[in-house]
Amino acid sequence: MLAALSAAAVVTLSKIGIKNIESSVGFAIQSILIVIVAWSVVFFQGHLSEVERIDRRSWMFLVAAGVITCMSSLFSFQALKMGEASRTSSFDKISLVFSVVLAIVFLKEKLNWQLAVGVTLMGAGAIFVAYSGDTK
């Protein structure tokens, strides 16, 4: 729940922050802070030594995920710049549907009826919000 609340705050604060600047500049500023905070947490929790134990395969997947995370964030910031926060942020939530499909296909996770119904409802809800009428 804290992650969801934090994400909601990020959308609102980012929309205000990029009002008068290019969206990629706003993302770049946030990225610097993300790097500083993330590595500070690693350092203060005493996990810095684990970096040298990361195997090549893990590095490849982490780097690929990092590149895709950057692309996703740049797309999200551009959508946020162009539209209403309440509507554009719902497109990001459709990723739940894709995440479940990818988890089933590549990670061999099991699909049960509750997951199928939940994913369907979340996907439909995100689409309804994204394509809702003008709220002004």
Three-state secondary structure along the chain?
A: CHHHHHHHHHHHHHHHHCCCCCHHHHHHHHHHHHHHHHHHHHHHCCCHHHHHHCCHHHHHHHHHHHHHHHHHHHHHHHHHHHCCHHHHHHHHHCHHHHHHHHHHHHCCCCCCHHHHHHHHHHHHHHHHHHCCCCCC
The per-residue pLDDT for 135 is: 53
Q: pLDDT tens digits, residue range 28-61? A: 999 999 999 999 999 999 999 999 999 999 999 9
Does residue 120 have a pLDDT over 90? yes
Q: pLDDT tens digits, residue range 57-115? A: 999 999 999 999 999 999 999 999 998 888 888 777 888 899 999 999 999 999 999 99
Report yes or no: 86 and 136 within 8 Å, Cβ to Cβ.
no
The per-residue pLDDT for 134 is: 64
The per-residue pLDDT for 16 is: 94
Question: Per-residue confidence at 129, pLDDT binned at 50, 70, 90?
Answer: confident
The per-residue pLDDT for 133 is: 73
